[in-house]
Amino acid sequence: MNPCRAQTLHRVLVGKFVGGWLIGDLIGCGGSAAVFSAIRNGQEAALKVIDPELLDEFGREQQSRRIVLEARLVGEGHPNLVKLFEAGECLVTRHLYVAMAKLPYRTLTATIGSIPAEAIGKIIEQIASAAQYLDQRHICHRDIKPDNVMVSDDFAHAVLMDLGIISPFDAAVAGSVDPSGERFIGTARYCPGEFIRNQVTKTAVGYRAVTFYQLGGLLHDMIMQQRLFDQIDGPYARLIDAIDTVTPVVESDEVPRHLLYLARDCLRKAADDRTRLVTWNRFRATEPNASLDARLRVRASLSSLSVADVGKVSIAPRIDRTVLLELGRMLRDRLAAVCDGNTDLLIPSIDVDVVGHVTQLTAEFEPVPARGLYRKFRILFQAEPVLGADLVFLLDAEVSASGQKTTEPPSRVRICIVRDLNYDPSIDFEDFLYKVIADQMGQPAKSAGRSRG
């Protein structure tokens, strides 16, 4: 609904009742509705009234089903999701409406450019939490964008708004809400290509890929202080082409690096890449705290290792061998620096090799009986490239020890995602080495057989 139509509807409704709510000022308008301040029995609300012309164009029945879908969330409670009071059809005016909490906040769009760098992580954590809350109820928001996020003046509290185009994961129910299955509903600037083309896989993972992309759009705007694809104005086709082909720049010297990496991963073109590289935990992750003692650091690292959910890629990109060797030397130097600079750790002998498209790092550790390490053990680190244009590697490790009696192959552990040749995995190495050494302490040099008596 454009502002002119919203003003016209306001002149018709102001001072009247819709669903028992007395209409006051016009708050704003969006693609499908106008929002008014309203009051009923002393309770204030923001009342969204669906555009009557939309009902004429697409049918009242379809929009009524959307209202019924929203009504299922009445009474649901999450601190970062807009609270709904009721949703339905006014028996007098026949307007479809949704009554929700009225917040004294501004939209994220209105605050872009003034958000402190230190507030960005908290805002995206809160909005992602609200999106995950819907995800756990098998619902996808589908319209996460700066216009649909409200933030307090101190940027301490953020709320996800406008549940007008939510979709259930269940394909049958989703089809009843969007019966044509062909018309795009959403905001193209903040939607991935598969959503615009109605090619979303109708599963939890498919819808989650859409959500991750839109959360990445929020991060982009807060970090870069401008709209996603802001340089693209004009024909709609130009925007769609940019969504398909242009990789958004996400870079800042003021924002924590893990948020930059998260935004880039969320905005990947391929849905499978997004769900491979991003998990809900990454929105809650904080930068490593060097002041924690070693034991707590290891535990914190293991509990928040969202990258452990990253899958393997069957087809590797072609990367020059010299780049793989350079990566190996960088990893070797980082590992050596960590071991040399920490007296808690052991100093291994380290070899670098390239096998096919995989960079391998072998670290051999000698026994140190005085420290309860009675046998030699080896760590094989493997950095395998992720399919895509960027130099991104999955760094795994497996541990084996001499005298180890088992027919099972060593288990592989995800250490981290190496974003580029300048990435510093020192903290990841250190946490992992503490865990390995703790596991190896007290292990016998070889299996003890039964005595013959």
Residue position matching structure tokens 């390995």: 436
List, in sequence order, every residue forming a beta bridge with 203; answer none if it has no partner: none
**Residue whose C-alpha is closest to residue 126's, from 165, 163, 82, 84:** 82
Distance from C-alpha of 189 to C-alpha of 269, rounded to nearest angstrom: 13
CB-based burial label for 18 (10 Å; 0-12, 13-18, 19+)? buried
204 C-beta neighbours (distance < 10 Å), count: 14
Q: What is the layout of strands, in order, in the sheet containing 349-355?
A: 349-355, 358-365, 377-385, 393-401, 412-418
Cβ atoms of 183 and 175 closer than 8 Å: no
Distance from C-alpha of 348 to C-alpha of 365, rounded to nearest angstrom: 5
Distance from C-alpha of 203 to C-alpha of 211, rounded to nearest angstrom: 12
Measured in whole angstroms, the distance separating CA 97 from the mean position of its chain's CA atoms is: 31
Token duo for residue 410: 């060593």
Strand ranges for 126-260 from DSSP E: 139-140, 149-151, 158-160, 167-168
Binding residue per annotation — 122?
A: no
| Start-to-end CA span in the chain (Å) | 91
DSSP 286-331: ----TTS-HHHHHHHHHHT-GGGG----SS-----HHHHHHHHHHH
Distance from C-alpha of 42 to C-alpha of 262, rounded to nearest angstrom: 44
Cβ atoms of 200 and 206 closer than 8 Å: yes
**Residue whose C-alpha is closest to residue 177's, from 94, 36, 71:** 71
Q: At residue 176, what are phi and psi to the nearest 5 degrees? A: -75, -25
Token duo for residue 324: 């793989």
**Residue whose C-alpha is closest to residue 98's, from 83, 107, 88, 112:** 88
Token duo for residue 191: 């939607």
Helices 204-224/117-136 angle, 10° precision? 160
Annotated binding-site members: 48
Q: Which residues belong to the annotated binding site for ATP?
A: 48
